[in-house]
Amino acid sequence: MHRNIRRKTAVVALGVAIALGTSLSLAKVALAVSAGPYSPPQQDCPWYASGWNSPQNQTYPGCHNTQVSVESGGTTNGNPNNGWNNSPNGNGGNGKANTTWVQWGNDQAANDNNSQGTPTFYSLGEPGQSASPHAGCLAFNTDGTKGGSVPEPAQTNPNGSAPGGKNTQPQSAKSSHTNQTYGCGNNPNGTGFDLNYNYYPLVCPLLTDAGISSLECETYKGDDTDSKAGTPQVKDAVQLQLDHGGQQNLTQITTQGALVYFGMDDNSDNGEHDGQGPGTSKQTAGSVNGSSDGGAIMVAFTPQSAGSTPSLTHPEGLLNASTGFCADGNCGDLTTQQETVYYGCGANTGENKAADRCPKSKKGSQRDAANYAGKQWDPYNCSSGGSQTQPKNQPQPDSPSQCDTSSSNTSPSGSKNPKGGEDYWRQQEASQVNAEPGFQFYEDPDAEGSPAAPLYPNPAVYVGTCGVILGGGGLSSAGDPTGTLPNRSFGLPPGTPFVNSAGQIVISTGC
């Protein structure tokens, strides 16, 4: 989301890494992130945990930037049931989330302007820094681990908290890393264990005692290093709870199946925070959708769907797999069933409902992610990649001045948004944007995303059971640092056989 070239390349590298990992993982056996089965609740995070204005050196307990889980319960719209996408009334996280049997998660890194990362395309926090992977959890329970995200309100209010919901507030690193209620969780009713680990309290005191400043761990208020303790602190490094309750619910796998999930987002890139949240720029309260970049892999065995009638959008019900990623506007998805990759107007993703209203023409509507017909694109410079170090005389990329249209800040689709801010673009998007069975590459439909090159939107490709989609997109002069490229559409003339209103070749099988 940031315009810095190293950062842009880094998140593209993240997407490539996930894509390559996907092809390998399918052999072994995706906001925002508008691809694949990824979602913040699936990572045990509040929707707004990646807000660019998140407090320095604080995180939400249990929130993970990388996670693996084995669970049962099924999917909704092609994604694991997380309590939000399967909410019975579309109001907050009040659906029944899947039962998780096994989980590993790497804790989210805090927003930290001082954390030093490797000088590489994909920047890992250096050892001893707050953004270096050093803490997480591992759990197994025969009755389900009973973890998940901290509570959050159904409609995010200005300060991000619900009445009586003190746990919706971020906490210090030390408090977050030792909290066993959320994330992997702990369930005394079943048989299993919950392990929270953090190697810093074992190593950092020794490095401090060595007296070599270049090796010492980063310290700050509420840090999790125990650097001044003098000796390794095992109690802070390991919290292990053994559960002997004896209850088991594993038999539900026979009726509700099993699902394996792996997800990762760009917070692993030296603690990046570049999403929307409470208190970001004006007219963004309806745009909350998690991290800007990342992806996921899912393999699902769902016997409850085995008897479903095969269709072009759901060719097979018993065994399905999907993978997808987004990196700065570049999204790819490979799936065996229809999968909702982005919820537009009227979404149930933790945003402020009053700021995400559906026009009558859009309510309940759906479109394919690769089919740009009717899509209203936000200006090139509009994104959620704000920065707490941005000079005050420079507008944040999610500010109305960057997201509203004008003669100097145009929409590639010619859309007009004189005063709606970033929220306007979600309100004009279809209620569900779907990936169809097969492979697709497309521009991120979320206005939070930011293009990494003058190509905007990206020409799309889709090949699968629903047919073929090719082309569209164009060049944006706003993305050309040399200032020599003109705005240009790659679309074919509408009215040409098999060409849609966005100038794309569309050969449909009738999905």
Question: Which residue ranges of the chain lie beneath pLDDT 50?
Answer: 1-31, 154-167
Q: How many other CB atoms are there within 10 angstroms of residue 269's CB atom?
A: 24
The answer to whether the CB of 292 falls within 8 A of the CB of 450 is yes
> Of 280, 305, 330, which one is at a domain's C-terminal end?
305
Judge whether 181 lies within some domain. Answer: yes
From the list 36, 252, 47, the residue with the least C-alpha distance to 151 is 47
Rounded Cα distance between 244 and 262, Å, is: 28
Judge whether 94 and 87 are in contact, CB under 8 Å: yes
Per-residue pLDDT at 249 = 87
Q: How many C-alpha atoms does 124 have within 13 Å on its Cβ side? A: 6
Q: Is residue 323 part of a domain?
A: no
Smallest CA-to-CA distance from 244 within 99, 101, 142 is with 142
For the four alpha carbons of 5, 6, 7 and 8, in that order, the dihedral sign comes to positive
Domain that holds residue 459: 341-508
- The 10 Å CB-count burial string (b at 16+, else e) for 133-155 is ebbbbbbbbbbbbbbbbbebbbb
The answer to whether position 330 is within a domain reads no
Q: What CA–CA distance (Å, rounded) separates 21 from 37?
A: 15
What is the spatial distance between Cα 25 and Cα 104, in angstroms, rounded to a whole number?
17
Q: For residue 242, with 0-12 CB atoms within 10 Å meaning exposed, 13-18 middle and 19 or more buried, which class applies?
A: exposed
pLDDT value, residue 284: 93
Do 178 and 294 lie in one domain? The reply is yes
Return the closest-CA partner of residue 383 out of 397, 373, 400.
397
CB count in 10 Å sphere of residue 400? 21
SS3 479: helix
Task: Kindly state whether residues 265 and 353 are assigned to the same domain.
Answer: no
- Residue 251 to residue 85: CA distance in whole angstroms: 25
Query: CA–CA separation, 451 vs 239, rounded Å?
Result: 42
**pTM of the predicted structure, to 2 decimals:** 0.91
Q: Where are the alpha helices (DSSP H) in 121-212?
A: 173-177, 200-210
Residue 321 in any domain: the answer is no
SS3 14: helix
Tell whether 375 is covered by a domain. yes
> Which residue's entry shows tokens 């040409």?
496
- Same domain flag for 129 and 273: yes
| Residue 298 and residue 345 in one domain | no
Residue 407 carries which DSSP code? T
Same domain, 279 and 396: no
- Clarify whether residues 134 and 222 are in a common domain: yes
Asked if residue 258 belongs to a domain, the reply is yes
pLDDT in the model for residue 25: 34
Question: What is the per-residue pLDDT for 344?
Answer: 95
Nearest 5°: the CA angle 51, 422, 335 is 75
What is the identity of the amino acid at 315? P
CB 289 within 8 A of CB 66: no
User: Looking at the structure, do residues 32 and 105 belong to the same domain, yes or no?
Assistant: yes
- Identify whether residues 18 and 127 lie together within a single domain: yes
Residue (of 319, 318, 330, 320) closest to 294 by Cα position: 330
pLDDT at 32: 58
Query: Three-class SS of residue 183?
Result: strand
Sequence-separated (6 or more) residues with CB below 8 Å from residue 277: 48, 49, 50, 51, 52, 53, 54, 156, 160, 288
* Boundary-marking domain end, from 289, 305, 321: 305
Pair type for strands 366-368 and 467-471: unpaired
Residue type, 407: S
Residue 193 placed within a domain: yes
| Total tally of structural domains belonging to the chain | 2
Is the same domain home to 75 and 174?
yes
Burial pattern 21-59, b for ≥16 Cβ within 10 A else e, equals: bbeebeeeebbbbbbbbbbbbbbbbbbbbbbbbbeebbb
Residues 66 and 189 placed together within one structural domain of the fold: yes
Helix (H, G, I), strand (E, B) or coil at 201: helix
For the chain, first and last CA: distance in Å?
34
Q: Where is the domain boundary, 305, 323, 351?
A: 305
Please check whether residues 350 and 275 belong to one and the same domain. Answer: no
Upper half-sphere CA count for residue 152 (Cβ side, 13 Å): 36
- Pairing assessment for the beta strands 467-471 and 505-508 based on DSSP bridges: antiparallel
**Looking at the domain assignment, is residue 299 inside a domain?**
yes
What's the Rg (C-alpha) of the chain?
22
Question: How many whole angstroms separate alpha carbon 333 and alpha carbon 438?
Answer: 8
Same domain, 80 and 196: yes
Which letter does DSSP use for residue 125 in this model?
Answer: B
